[in-house]
Amino acid sequence: MQQPVIAVLTGEGEALPPGLDTIADTAELRLANSREGLEQALPGADILLVTDFRTEMLAECWPLADRLQWVHATSAGVDALMFPGLQNSEIPITNARGIFDRPIAEFVLGLVLAFTKDLPASVRYQDQHVWQHRETETIRDKRALIIGAGAIGREIGRMLAAAGMRVDAVARSARQDDPDFGRVHAQHTLLDHLPEADFVVVAAPLTDATRGLFGHDAFAAMKPEARFINIGRGPIVDTEALVEALEADAIAGAGLDVFEEEPLPQGHPLWDFPQAILSAHMAGDVLGWQEALTMQFLENFRRWQSGDALHNVVDKGRGYVPPG
């Protein structure tokens, strides 16, 4: 029997993901870490494993994919793969749902605590050898509004609630009696509920409905004491509007792990706000995350070989894995 062919799109100069070589005896692995490599890997490939999202290159090479049966993304968000050739095809896309939920929730809790306990200022005072006593806040009974009620948003909600916060969510449609949130509001009512929140956490996928969701109107609706956290996708936020909100003290702070432009340019004004905490798109990347992603793919690969239904199949119309 002919071995299945797996094309692996990685970053420029990168090797195969750790642990993938364990199936080298049962599948042909084709590394594609350049344009030339992708052009050679796609023809005759049965599966495309995507660890690097150079969408323009993949879209241009897409006509060479003459035998693909399945595309797997090693990320929770698949917006970068939603170019017409793939989105309009019958080829299923699966993602890494479940791998990043807990690490990202811990990261958000860390940001909440960093803001309320004024940890960035403590680090700055330490750098200056300054002893500066001050009072900080408690997170107990503070209100969090989670934008996105998917797996990651739910894990964030559970963790913040366990720490004593009151947590609501915003989703495509309103829901009652949700197991993880006090209330789930419909997205079209977002502006009505932003004024209630002490922390607004974006955990939604990037779709046509969420692109630019947070602009001038949204930041104007937030109360001046509120903090804004984005661990979803950069283009959900209008960066210019966020900068203006921080400049005007319209919001009290921002914790940002994702940006419209990545890497964030060195001269960008976001770097210089003392009330902002920035990280390099790393909220879910804990020790061992790459091996966990490979194990998840290999489990689905075994299901594919056996003819069983794949896990984490993305609804390409919505841009994410539907609940349940």
Residues carrying an active site annotation: 233, 262, 281
Report residue 164 as tokens.
């004593």
Single-letter residue type at 142: K
How many angstroms separate the CA atoms of 49 and 81, rounded? 12
How many angstroms separate the CA atoms of 167 and 139, rounded? 12
Write the burial class of residue 268 (CB in 10 Å: 0-12 exposed, 13-18 middle, 19+ buried): middle
How many angstroms separate the CA atoms of 233 and 229, rounded? 11
Report residue 91 as tokens.
């080829």
Specify whether the CB–CB gap between 147 and 153 falls below 8 A: yes
Helices (H) and strands (E) in the chain, counts: 10, 12
Query: What SS3 class is residue 275?
Result: coil
Query: What SS3 class is residue 160?
Result: helix
Specify whether the CB–CB gap between 61 and 37 falls below 8 A: no
